Structures are given as structure tokens and as C-alpha cells.
Structure 1
Amino acid sequence: MEFILLGFSNVPHLQWVLFVIFLFMYVTILLCNSIIILLAKTDPALQTPMYYFLSNFSFLEICYVTATIPRMLMDLYTLKGNISVLACATQMYFVLMLGGTECLLLTAMAYDRYVAICQPLQYSLLMKNTVCLQLVAASWISGIPIQIGQTYQIFSLPFCASNRIDHFFCDIPPLLKLACGDTFMNTVAVYVVAVGFVMVPFLLIIVSYIKIICNIMKLSSDKGMAKAFSTCSSHLIVVVLFYGTASITYLQPKHSESEGMGRFSLFYAHFDPSFESHYIHSEEQRYHGGTEEIT
């Protein structure tokens, strides 16, 4: 009827310290990303595809952390991790769906940077409003049916052993450890979805950045190179952090899983997009119009 999220129950003496830290981080993420969305919507100078993607990314980050942190804060406050099966399935679905959306949105943002730097003369044509809208819509919608199916598949398994989840939210790896039936097909499905939403977009991003770097190296102006790198560096850093931690969590061999590894690696991935939002915003303000000068 219910599971028990262990979360940080192994450090009860740090309950209030952790509660304050995570509450502060959550409020900070909400405020910073809300400000970015507001600026992108109201400032006429920021009505560009880059900021359209960034505002969607900020909204996604708000949804992403809201799917996990409020529940974790409640568990820290009450020192109880009881969660119903339905609530657990709902949380897992939103985490997986939003995580998949983040992978695809990062790919769309890489494509935007590729077109801006490698094909600047065609930028306004290739990245017009309808194209940006289609890329964002595809990022949000494409993962919905897949993650519904995967969530249903996981919770169709019999859980007849322990009901204690060694995590601070409902996720696939710790739940599969509790299943007492044959989980081979579920594991295969996890790998297939992970490859589709993690590795394929990651390879597309890598190809885009190889072409971007090759193009930047051809620029004769040091100032132009600096501006081009400034609009891409933070995005590339977050891509490495996000895809790296996601790969550690979902693609590591089962026998090599260390206790708590997925918990902290994925938790870390919750916060690196807020770094990207802040960094891209500050760099773009500093080098405003950099792409146009490169053109």
C-alpha cells in the first residue's frame, strides 16, 4: 500500500540543517528562474530564440525541482518518509518526463547555438518563431507517452520484499531493487529509453559543438572568438554535468552500483541547470549582441 523513502534518515542529527539548506536552495532556484522568465518575456532586447529556449529551460527547472524537493522537505520536517504507491508512481513519472524533456531541450539549445555561429546569415530563417515553438513543443511532448508506459511497467511488478526505498524520491533503480519478480525486461526498457533520451541527444550535441568549435577557430578576431565561446561555454558545461550524472545513474552496470550513488548524482543534476541559467544570462548581458557582431 505504501513505500518508505529513507532519504537522509541515516543522519537524523542533521535534520534541521539539511532542511534549511535545501529550503534555501529551492527558494533560490524558484526566484532566479522566475526572474529569468520575467526578463525574457518583458525585455524587448531579449526577444531572441536563445532567450526563448532559456525561459522554457528555466520553467522546466522550476517544475523539475518542485517534483522532488517539497516532498523531501516534508520528510525532513516530519522525519517520516511514508509515500503511497500512487504518489510514488506520480512522482516518478514527472521526474522521468521532465528529465527527458531537459535532455531534448538541451539539444534544441545546442542546435540554436550551432545555427547562430555556423550559419549566421540563415539564422533568422532557420530559427524563426514557428521553428522554435516546434522544437520546444517536441521536447515537452515526446517523452509523455514513453514515460507513462515505463512508469506503468515498473509499478506492474510485484513488490513483496522490503518497502524501504533507499532514495529521497521514487526513482527506477532503487525501485527495481525491491521487485521480487523478473525485472530483465524492465532493465532492458530502462537502457533503451536511457539511450534514446540520454545518449542520442548527447551525441547530437557533441557533433554540434565540434562544428561550432571548428567554426570559431576560423574567426580572425579574438574578440569575436571570445563572444562566441561565451555564449556556448556554460551550456556545454551543464550538458557534461547533466548527461554525465544521468549516465552514472541509469547506465552503470547493476553489479557496480554503489549505495547512494544514484541518489546524490541525480540530486546534483537537479541544480546545475540553475547555474546555466544564471551564467548564460550574465554572459549574454555582458556580450549582448555578440552573435550579431560575429555575423
Structure 2
Amino acid sequence: MRIRTTSTQRTYRYVRLAIVGATVFLAVGVGIELVGRGVLPSVSAAYYTPAGPVFVGALSAIALALLALSGRSVEQGLLDVAAVLALVIAFVPTSVSCGVDVRCIPPEVRATVANNAGAVASVVLLGVVVAIVLARVQGTLSRGVVTTAAVITAIVLGGGVWARVAPEAFLARAHEAAAVAFFVLIAVVAGLAAWRPRPARVRRSRLRVAYATVAAAIAATLVLLIVGVLAGAEQRGIPVVLVGESVALALFAVFWIVQTVELWDEVDPSIAATRE
């Protein structure tokens, strides 16, 4: 028997599946590099390897998919901000060792970083303006929309000021700051999803356990990663960043698989018109 679906429903299904697919795409690209060349300092270090185009492409796809998805109130705003952070992670690469206790982005890629970061910042700011105009025209402009737009604008302009005032510090830390913030936001979204009201027909307890577990696991992974870095685990040959990022990415994929299963049969997923 053929199950009838709406075009909106199919679109939301495909976008959610695209996020999972892009994460798998990234994992496979980095995995091939690990098998062929040995251990990398981190997943993000794939930027400097033949897996670099996969790294940038996968994160760009994830960012666009996050922006395309309509969600619920605060969750949607957080995912919009996470999408912008994903672009920062993709186009402002992680720093590498440039000497004893010194990290930097190699001179040969700085022109590329400046070009890409400038293009991303310009498009994101243009997108904020377009989003506000469309929300105004469609009658969906709300405090939540304005707040999300303001936060994204602050991130972009703040990053621009940081890059101008302290370029070396920006190049050395911007990627890591964006990555930590991205996973924190995903953990918060998972936590909110755990307590979101659901129809009686939905097995609420199982979903809440799944979402809460993902949120707690991401938080624990970030804490252990930071502790490991501060404790100098990398200097002792333990690839703590690689392991931490890999686990966080796996949990990110789990979150989207759970949400895709939960919302698979929604005829018309809720658009965040109820933001406050």
C-alpha cells in the first residue's frame, strides 16, 4: 500500500536525512584519511588534508539544512545560530602547531581564510536582513525572530572586530570557540527536545530518555575534552581532541536520527510562528 505524503512532509524528511547524510559523509572522508595517513590531531585538522573539501562541504551542507528546517520556538533560534557557527567551523580552520607552545594558521592558507570568512560574513548578514524583511511581509515577525537575528548579527560583527583588533588570536582560537559553542547549542536543543510536550500517541518516555541521554553525553564529552586538553593529554600522545570531536559528531548524528524518526509522520512540521 502506498502511503500518501505532502510535499512539505517529504521536504522536511529529506532535509533531516541530509543532515545525517552530511555527517556520515564527513565521517567517511576523515576515516579514509585516518586509515591512509594515520592519526590526525583532530577531525578539524582534516581541513589541511585531501579530506579538506569533504570537511568544508559537509559542514556547509549541515549549516544550510539547519537553516532550512522549521522548528519550535527557542529550538529553532538555537539551530539558526548553530548553523552560523557551523559555517565558521568550516571556513575558519583550526590552528596548527607553529612552534613550541604556539598555534597559528599557516601563512599559505591565510588569504583563503580571509576571502572565505569575508564571503560568509557578508552572506550571513544579508541573510539576516532578508529574513527580517520576509518575516515582516509574512506577518511572522516576533520577538524570537528579532532576538535570533540580533544574536547572529552580534556573532558576525563581533568576529569581525576580533579579527581586526587581534588577528592572531582570532586565527588561533575562533575555530575552537565556534566548535565548542556549536556542540553546546546542540546539547541544549536536545535537552529542550527531551521536555517538549508531545501528543498522547507518542512514546514520550523513550524519546525523552533518548534526547536527554544525547544532551548529557555531549555535555560530558565537551567537559572531558576540555579537561584532557588542559591536562596536556595531547603532549602524552593521547588524541583527546580527535576522540572528543568524533564522539560529539556521532552524538550529533544520533540526535538527528532520533528527531527524524520522531517527526517522520508529521504532515506539516510546525513553523516557529509561535516564537515569543
TM-score (norm 1): 0.43
RCO higher in 1 or 2 (8 Å CA, sep ≥ 6)? 2
TM-score (norm 2): 0.45
Which structure: larger Rg?
Answer: 1
